[in-house]
Structure 1
């Protein structure tokens, strides 16, 4: 069994190579698929996800990448050019820029400008607070001009819950930026500028119904702060990275993994993002999803740089899985 040392504590715990079933005695994810007569294989690849690195101004408790202020892994301009070239060669319908906090990557405008003409839908993930500084105003103006869809992480309309997950002052910073985005037209009916929110649970439990959460968020944000948005998405937290460390530290790991496995929904498998997505790491290597990227399980079992890819994965190709995949198939699933 491999071991990791929890940062700053000296405490040893099972390493990332140890799957959930070894820690919790649950059925392996691959076995659960087989028992239900299912296989997880690729369909048509329509989405390119670009992870611009692990630099972030926050240290969110639920982060599966352990992103934070001290991380130096960010996409270079050279790799950005390779990503643009790659997207020019293949007909992606959606391009999704994520991180870390992509807003902090120095050459992000270069990437946005290069990718915007290449897909009908270009998305940029934001933690909101990274857009707060005046120096990000040109980036916001570029997003408006290029009609970039903004996908903002906002865990809860309860300030104490949001601050617990993201750090003191996170709610105030997030609301300030949401108001700025509304003023620019984002999330406002009739503008065509889409602002979507993403909420992850703040503890070791599954998200509530997406439909009920969206109603609550819409009512609370409008009533408390006069903020509007387009859609809300709720996702379970993957037991990886900083969230995994927190689960071990608080004694919640086995209980949480058991909750995920007991909530396995076979109907969610067909709609999983990994079936239609190709994820590119900050340094240009290709994975089936951002969670496989986090544990360095590359597409096809070997690391391949996107500049060496001559064709997209064929439908029916297997997808690398781990027991953390239960987080994507719990309840309504991660689609």
Structure 2
């Protein structure tokens, strides 16, 4: 159980319920070639958790049974799972849109030769982490040399049609703050990214997603150690907007962990909060269950999704 969960359980966050299920988000494991300060998954090169072949097969069964429109693959670095490409192909054969949450540096890792070609051939949407266009800011948050490797990864993707606006090879960049504050206006930030990446590196992309850091896992522990946790929670609560409640991602998404257990969102997954706030539920139990109208487990960290312009896996919720 996460060390900050006891700080988050007592909440007055509004009760919310599910709508129709549209997106299956699957965490294939916590192994990653990076160990970023802001990572809410606490992923890294030394993590060994990885989804089993049996659970991958259940994911494919769920695509058949549920009719979900999107498969959102995350980690860690999801591409490090030995069945990543098999799962992508299975989803695409079923007409399911696939989104790969890519850290960009994975494209240069040994054993990942041909990854950029594969993603392009399968028309996989790439959501790529790039917390800033400035080298010093990226390396401070993600590690020395990460910015240069990220730019090289973006160039590989651009060369394969990503960011061209062709409608098939969608490339979104993800910004998250470097500390305990809310992201700036997403539209203004996107314009700055577009201008600076083109001018400095000749890089193109389709859109920018501004995502708030939630006070859990590595980032939450850092806030606690620096005595900033309570102030950050006060910031999130004070910036809450009821209008964002209708658009939060958990209304139309379920998040599956590497063991096949289901959660209302990726953040709840990292806190060990199971679907609807009840006991553990396996994905196999949901093959023939309609979740529409069921309650969503909430805690104080949910204010991170409704503060200011709002935040989700798809970026800001409102202008």
Structure 2 Cα separation of the partners of residues 51 and 182 of structure 1: 26
User: Which of 190, 214, 231 is matched with 1:214 structurally?
Assistant: 190
User: What SS does the aligned partner of 2:99 have?
Assistant: strand
The range that moved more, 190-199 or 253-262, is 190-199
Aligned to 1:311: 288
Q: Which runs of 5+ in 1 are unaligned?
A: 5-14, 22-27, 34-38
1:165 and 2:165 aligned = no
Q: Which residue number corresponds to residue 316 of structure 2?
A: none
The TM-score normalised by the length of structure 2 is 0.93
CA distance in 2, matches of 1:185, 1:124: 16
Moved more, 114-123 or 231-240: 114-123
Q: Could you tell me how far 1:138 is from its partner in structure 2?
A: 2.7
Alpha carbons 1:187, 1:195 under 8 Å: kept: yes
* CA positional deviation for 1:94: 1.3
- Corresponding position of 2:112: 136
8 A Cα contact 2:4 2:221, kept in partner? no
CA RMSD of aligned residues (A): 1.7
- Partner of residue 247, structure 1: 223
Asked if residue 76 in structure 1 is aligned to residue 52 in structure 2, the reply is yes
Normalized against structure 1, the TM-score is what? Answer: 0.89
* DSSP-derived class of the 2:26 partner: strand
Tell me, yes or no, if structure 1 residue 62 matches structure 2 residue 50.
no
Q: Distance in 1 between matches of 2:181 and 2:311?
A: 15
Q: Which has the larger radius of gyration?
A: 1
8 Å CA contact 2:58–2:283 kept in 1: the answer is yes
Instruction: Figure out how many residues of one structure are paired with residues of the other and give that number.
Output: 311
Say which of 216, 219, 229 aligns to 2:205: 229
Aligned twin of 1:89? 65
Structure 2 CA distance for aligned equivalents of residues 251 and 101 of structure 1: 30
Supply the distance in 1 between the matched residues of 2:208 and 2:5 (Cα, whole angstroms). Answer: 33
DSSP-derived class of the 1:291 partner: helix
Contact 2:77 2:102 (C-alpha < 8 Å) held by counterparts? yes
Alignment of 1:120-199 (within 5 A): 120-133=96-109, 135-190=111-166, 192-199=168-175
Distance in 1 of aligned mates of 2:272 and 2:152: 36
Determine if the alignment matches structure 1 residue 260 to structure 2 residue 236. Answer: yes
SS, match of residue 232 in structure 1: strand
User: What corresponds to 2:309 in structure 1?
Assistant: 332
Q: Deviations over 1:74-123 (max 9, x none)?
A: 11222211111111111111110011111211221111111222344210
**How far apart in 2 are the matches of 1:315 and 1:305?**
17
CA displacement, residues 10-59 of structure 1 (integer Å, 9 cap, x when unaligned): xxxxx2331248xxxxxx54x242xxxxx311011111101111111111
1:322 is aligned to 2:279: no
Matched residue, 1:43: 19
Q: Who is 2:5 aligned against?
A: 17
Cα offset, 1:191, TM superposition:
6.4
Cα-to-partner distance string for 1:120-148 (whole Å, 9 max, x where unaligned): 42101101111123632333222111101
